[in-house]
């Protein structure tokens, strides 16, 4: 979908110190899974704190199209952060979903598309799936390949792209799948299909990816086993370890209450902004600190960031804490490839932190960034260079030399419908003398609908301006 000449650029200028307590939207990954599991459980599931971004609301609409009943209640004055709102889902039980009457439109949501593909592949009817221009350009073979082994059939456009037809099988076979990559989307798609198969479904991956699905399954009473296993050596080569997940299919699920914690991937933009703008001090309550999601925070602390966790607790199987963040002078480091699965969505905003740090930051193992909402590796390297930052992509690595944006003239960054690219460059604009504009801020609504209003309330200066005023 092209927005054409109707775009109104959004520009971010140097911010005054960012101070206050900020409510971050609910975790996107957990929100998707809460709606899906609510639709598979018998009885009522109540969800508070659900992310109200477009991606998650697409999943809510799709679950309703598949036969679940989804209702939202809200109080006057509620905002996009989900505070005070409750979603109620009445599920159909495992095997109880029904054929959708229309095309399932996943919008911009790669997570939603791949998880729903796994879900509908377990049902003996045909579903048609599509998405926006960005999602239709992203490959689906990473889930269609393993799911085809269960007996499901997929018809896609060239390059395994949406639109896609999914026809499930009445005799779903439990699958053992050794994934070549650590991907929560791939793992979750296979496990969701496996819930409907009689027997054990097994997924292994090179390193543990996000484990929200395993935690959510346990919360609903699914038998889940996880372990690290050693693979055998051969040909004189030493064996290696793999993360293994098994689920017992066809469980009886009952509705459960879920309080969705705030999304660490969304909190990342506020955290980095506070670290880069002198005098800043933010409190961010109720943030998910799942060990497989906080690679960015670990990295920033290594760079010298003042980030503290307080009031740590467990909610719906997920570790949660309040974050306290203060302005810090950061130093460049080498970020190992092994950390990528725990912070794959946060590399764009880490690149912004690196651009303002002292010295060189090298980020390795970023192949996955090339198949996100956009090619984020190229987008960040090119965008930073446009801002006067010394940055380059080499293979699957990004190398950034700090020192901040150079120059005084405003610069326009194309975001290609990528919400994280848009927010990252708006944060960069807060940290220097050079105003930085993004050509389209609308994509931010997919994950952080009130981002601009919230940031301005804390001390940022982000405004929509006509393109002619930036020339």
Give Cα separations from 115 to 110, 144, 147, 162, 352 (angstroms): 8, 11, 11, 14, 30
Look up residue 166 and give its two tokens.
Answer: 């999914």
**Residue 261 phi, psi (nearest 5):** -70, 165
CA 137 to chain centre: 18
CB 16 within 8 A of CB 458: no
User: In the prediction, which pLDDT does 182 show?
Assistant: 87
The partner residues of 22 in beta bridges, in order of sequence, read: none
Burial of 143 (0-12, 13-18, 19+ CB in 10 A): buried
Q: How many C-beta atoms lie closer than 10 Å to residue 119's C-beta?
A: 25
- Compute the 3-state secondary structure of the chain and give helix, strand, coil in percent, each to the nearest 5: 35, 30, 40
Catalytic residue among 105, 345, 440, 450: 345
Instruction: Quickly list H helices, 178-312.
Output: 184-194, 212-219, 264-276, 295-302
Candidates 1.10.1200.10, 3.65.10.10, 3.20.130.10, 3.30.70.120; CATH matching 28-259: 3.65.10.10
- Mark whether 345 is an active-site residue: yes
Nearest-angstrom CA–CA distance, 383 and 355: 11
The partner residues of 203 in beta bridges, in order of sequence, read: 177, 245
Give Cα separations from 153 to 169, 183, 211 (angstroms): 8, 22, 27
User: In the prediction, which pLDDT does 449 show?
Assistant: 85
Give Cα separations from 419 to 100, 149, 449 (angstroms): 29, 34, 10
Going by the DSSP 8-state scheme, the letter that residue 175 receives in this structure is: -
CB 23 within 8 A of CB 449: no
Q: Residue 110: enclosing H or E segment and its boundaries?
A: helix 110-120
**Residue 389 phi, psi (nearest 5):** -95, 140
Question: Would you call 244 helix, strand, or coil by DSSP?
Answer: strand
Domain-by-domain residue ranges, the chain?
A: 4-24+262-470, 28-259
State yes or no: cis peptide before 163, omega within 30 of 0.
Answer: yes
Nearest-angstrom CA–CA distance, 302 and 298: 6
Q: Residue 229: enclosing H or E segment and its boundaries?
A: strand 224-230
Classify domain 4-24+262-470 by CATH number. Answer: 3.65.10.10
User: In the prediction, which pLDDT does 5 show?
Assistant: 41
**Residue 424 phi, psi (nearest 5):** -60, -45
Give Cα separations from 274 to 17, 265, 331, 466 (angstroms): 8, 15, 16, 28
**pTM (2 d.p.):** 0.86
Matching residue, tokens 């997924």: 203
Nearest-angstrom CA–CA distance, 126 and 136: 19
Look up residue 342 and give its two tokens.
Answer: 């725990």
Q: Minimal CA–CA distance to 217: which of 122, 313, 318, 123?
A: 318
Using alpha carbons only, how large is the chain's radius of gyration in Å? 22
Nearest-angstrom CA–CA distance, 154 and 165: 6
Report the helix count and the strand count for the chain, using DSSP H and E: 13, 24
User: In the prediction, which pLDDT does 2 show?
Assistant: 35
Tens of each residue's pLDDT in the chain, 471 residues: 333 345 778 999 999 999 999 999 999 999 999 999 999 999 999 999 999 988 999 999 999 999 999 999 865 544 544 455 799 999 999 999 999 999 999 998 999 999 999 999 999 999 999 999 989 998 899 999 999 999 999 999 999 999 999 999 888 889 999 999 889 999 999 999 999 999 999 999 998 988 999 999 999 999 999 999 987 654 444 568 899 999 999 999 999 999 999 999 999 999 999 999 999 999 999 999 999 999 999 999 999 999 999 999 998 889 999 999 999 999 999 999 988 888 888 999 999 999 999 999 999 988 877 666 568 889 999 999 999 999 999 989 999 999 999 988 899 999 988 999 999 999 999 998 999 999 999 989 888 989 999 999 999 999 988 766 665
Q: Residue 70: enclosing H or E segment and its boundaries?
A: strand 69-73
CB 179 within 8 A of CB 187: yes
Q: In CATH terms, are 4-24+262-470 and 28-259 the same topology?
A: yes
Going by the DSSP 8-state scheme, the letter that residue 467 receives in this structure is: G
């Amino acid at each position: 979908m092209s927005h054409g000449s109707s775009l109104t650029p959004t520009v971010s200028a140097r911010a005054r110190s960012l101070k206050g307590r900020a409510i971050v939207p609910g975790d996107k990954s957990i929100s998707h899974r809460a709606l899906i599991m609510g639709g598979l459980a018998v009885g009522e599931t109540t969800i508070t704190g659900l992310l109200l971004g477009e991606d998650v609301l697409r999943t809510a609409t799709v679950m309703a199209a598949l036969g679940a009943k989804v209702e939202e209640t809200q109080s006057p004055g509620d905002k996009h952060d989900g505070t005070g709102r409750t979603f109620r889902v009445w599920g159909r039980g495992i095997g109880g979903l029904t054929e959708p009457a229309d095309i399932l439109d996943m919008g911009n949501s790669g997570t939603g598309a791949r998880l729903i593909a796994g879900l509908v592949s377990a049902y003996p009817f045909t579903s048609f799936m599509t998405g926006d221009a960005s999602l239709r350009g992203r490959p689906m073979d990473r889930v269609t390949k393993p799911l085809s082994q269960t007996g499901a059939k997929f018809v896609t456009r060239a390059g395994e792209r949406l639109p896609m037809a999914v026809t499930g099988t009445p005799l779903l076979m439990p699958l053992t799948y050794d994934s070549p990559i650590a991907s929560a989307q791939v793992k979750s798609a296979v496990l969701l299909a496996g819930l409907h198969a009689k027997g054990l479904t097994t997924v292994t991956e090179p390193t543990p990816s996000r484990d929200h699905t395993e935690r959510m399954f346990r919360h609903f009473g699914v038998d889940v086993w996880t372990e690290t296993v050693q693979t055998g050596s051969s040909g004189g080569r030493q064996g290696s370890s793999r993360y293994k997940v098994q689920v017992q299919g066809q469980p009886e699920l009952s509705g459960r209450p879920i309080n969705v914690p705030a999304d660490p991937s969304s909190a990342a933009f506020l955290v980095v902004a506070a670290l880069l703008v002198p005098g800043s001090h933010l409190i961010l309550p109720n943030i998910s600190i799942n060990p497989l999601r906080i690679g960015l925070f670990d990295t920033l602390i290594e760079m010298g960031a003042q980030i503290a966790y307080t009031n740590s607790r467990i909610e719906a199987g997920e570790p949660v804490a309040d974050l306290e963040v203060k302005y810090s002078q950061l130093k460049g480091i080498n970020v190992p490839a092994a950390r990528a699965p725990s912070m794959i969505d946060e590399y764009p905003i880490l690149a912004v932190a690196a651009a303002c740090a002292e010295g060189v930051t090298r980020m390795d193992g970023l192949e996955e960034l090339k198949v996100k909402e956009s090619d984020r590796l190229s987008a960040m390297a090119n965008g930073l260079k446009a801002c006067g930052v010394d940055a380059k992509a080499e293979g699957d690595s990004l190398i950034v030399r700090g020192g901040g944006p150079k120059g005084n003239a405003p610069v326009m960054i194309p975001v290609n419908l990528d919400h994280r690219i848009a927010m990252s460059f708006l944060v960069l604009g807060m940290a220097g003398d050079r105003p930085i504009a993004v050509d389209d801020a609308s994509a931010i609504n997919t994950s952080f609908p009130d981002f601009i209003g919230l940031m301005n309330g804390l001390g940022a200066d982000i405004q929509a301006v006509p393109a002619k005023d930036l020339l």
